């Protein structure tokens, strides 16, 4: 059966969600589940949890745990990446140092100063993983959950001999389900085409039996004052297509919101939201550890995680359509060929096969390109050890550019480099 490796398995709540799927999907219950984390304590918790789940369900699955990454990935069929390099301490730096300059962020993991430095910390680890896979598991499928999604898979693709990497995220699926509810049409009756850049993709086609459902959506938004006061609704109104990312998250990729007190208040943007969520996650981990130590176990609740569904389709041949983040190479014709883009993909025994979208509406492609510019420079900075490209990426970031002067951005980047220190690639620190 399949050898499924979890990199960053100490993210116990997320590991539990994926395991709940894998262990309850038909045909995967005899898999070998391999857990890896550099934190031995968190790894031990994840291992105890996995053993409990397997035993509780009465399955023949095997569980391994390794602090040595190479031992974990050797012979892997699937590798699920969920690492957070530097953990909560690094996240605090990503928020607290920019805040001293008056720069607001909400999540800080995809674009902006926080996204840039999360990528710079993560890419060296991912390059090492890609090199390991090229040597030890060249036919494996690497399924990446770690943000920034437009940068991390691209760095593996460009910085290592390993190419079979797909980024996965729930934002498209959740958005399509939400839009179906808003217009009161069963989701299975709607024809969707959604594509772009992860966390800034757009619903390009939204129709049922030839009827454009966007007018119905506009009417629903117009009738709901609370919905109108969201960043997503504002972007839909101004750009003509609905974005896939939440209002809290999407606000920090753009120059028009976080810079202005009245816009933050009007749209209810939660500045610093991710710090609060991260603190809550620490509490969730401690509660999971307590429950396992007390023999209480964990809740096994299938979550329809994309990684587990992709693995199930490849292993069983059950055909699915998922949205994956893959190298563009002409899939979206008016975005750069070497960018990683989010497009519909067919998944079956043949693997993950992206579909061609063609040209996006020009205003959406233009917005995506401002997003991708930051990512390209960040990836180049990490792979080439170019400190100057870190500055270039930060200067081109829409939120930073709207808030700070060039001199302030320069000083902020230098302070961030000093604060993160050895976690950054050689040539930058």
Among 170, 260, 266, 410, the one annotated catalytic: 170
- The total number of residues shown for the chain amounts to 429
* Inter-residue contact 428 to 381 (CB < 8 Å): yes
User: Annotated binding residue at 147?
Assistant: yes
Partnered with residue 296 across adjacent β-strands are: none
**Rounded to an integer, what distance in angstroms lies between the CA atom of residue 10 and that of residue 119?**
20
The two structure tokens encoding residue 97: 């140092």
Q: Is 391 annotated as a binding residue?
A: no
Judge whether 345 is annotated as a binding position: no
Is 389 a residue of the active site? no
Those residues whose C-beta lies under 8 Å from the C-beta of residue 421, and which sit 6 or more positions away, are 429
Please tell me whether residue 325 adopts helix, strand or coil conformation.
Answer: strand
What dihedral do alpha carbons 324, 131, 120, 84 form, nearest 10°? 70
Q: How far is CA 95 from CA 1, 20, 98, 100, in A?
A: 43, 33, 6, 9
Q: If you write DSSP's letter for every residue of 75-118 in order, what string do you get?
A: T-SEEEE---TTHHHHHHHHHHHHHHTT---SS-SSSHHHHHHH
What's the first-to-final CA gap in the chain, in angstroms? 43
Asked if residues 201 and 244 have their Cβ atoms less than 8 Å apart, the reply is yes
Element holding 402 (H helix, E strand): helix 398-403
CA distances from 109 to 38, 150, 223, 237, 319 (A): 21, 11, 33, 26, 32
Q: Are strands 200-208 and 211-212 parallel, antiparallel or unpaired?
A: antiparallel
Annotated binding site for substrate: 147
Residues flagged as binding site: 147, 169, 199
Q: Which residues are catalytic?
A: 170
């Amino acid at each position: 059966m399949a050898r499924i490796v979890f990199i960053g398995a100490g993210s116990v709540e997320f590991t539990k969600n994926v395991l709940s799927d894998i262990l309850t999907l038909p045909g995967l219950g005899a898999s070998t589940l391999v857990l890896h984390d550099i934190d031995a304590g968190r790894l031990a918790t994840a291992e105890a949890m996995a053993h409990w789940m397997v035993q509780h369900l009465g399955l023949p699955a095997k569980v391994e745990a390794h602090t040595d990454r190479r031992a974990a990935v050797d012979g892997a069929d699937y590798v699920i990446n969920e690492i957070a390099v530097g953990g909560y301490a690094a996240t605090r730096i990503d928020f607290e140092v920019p805040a001293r300059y008056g720069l607001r962020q909400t999540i800080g993991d995809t674009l902006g100063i926080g996204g840039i430095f999360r990528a710079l910390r993560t890419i060296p680890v991912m390059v090492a993983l890609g090199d390991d896979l090229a040597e030890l598991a060249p036919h494996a499928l690497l399924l990446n959950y770690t943000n920034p999604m437009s940068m991390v898979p691209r760095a593996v693709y460009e910085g290592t001999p390993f190419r079979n990497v797909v980024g996965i995220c729930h934002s498209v699926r959740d958005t399509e389900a939400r839009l179906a509810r808003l217009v009161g049409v069963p989701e299975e009756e709607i024809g969707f085409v959604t594509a772009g850049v992860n966390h800034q993709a757009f619903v390009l086609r939204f129709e049922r039996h030839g009827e454009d459902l966007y007018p119905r959506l506009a009417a629903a938004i117009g009738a709901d004052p609370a919905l109108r006061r969201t960043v997503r609704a504002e972007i839909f109104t101004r750009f003509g297509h609905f974005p896939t990312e939440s209002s809290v998250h999407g606000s920090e990729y753009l120059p028009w919101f976080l810079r202005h007190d009245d816009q933050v208040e009007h749209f209810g943007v939660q500045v610093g939201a991710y710090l609060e969520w991260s603190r809550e996650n620490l509490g969730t981990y401690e509660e999971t550890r307590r429950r396992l130590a007390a023999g209480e176990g964990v809740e096994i609740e299938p979550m329809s995680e994309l990684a587990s569904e992709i693995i199930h389709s490849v292993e069983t041949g059950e055909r699915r359509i998922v949205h994956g983040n893959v190298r563009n190479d002409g899939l979206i014709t008016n975005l750069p060929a070497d960018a990683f883009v989010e497009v519909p993909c067919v998944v079956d025994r043949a693997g993950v096969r992206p579909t061609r979208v063609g040209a996006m509406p020009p205003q959406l492609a233009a917005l995506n390109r401002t997003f991708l510019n930051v990512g390209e420079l960040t990836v180049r900075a990490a792979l080439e050890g170019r400190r100057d490209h870190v500055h270039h990426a930060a200067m081109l970031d829409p939120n930073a550019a709207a808030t700070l002067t060039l001199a302030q951005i320069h000083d902020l980047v230098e302070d961030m480099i000093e604060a993160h220190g050895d976690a950054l690639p050689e040539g930058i620190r």
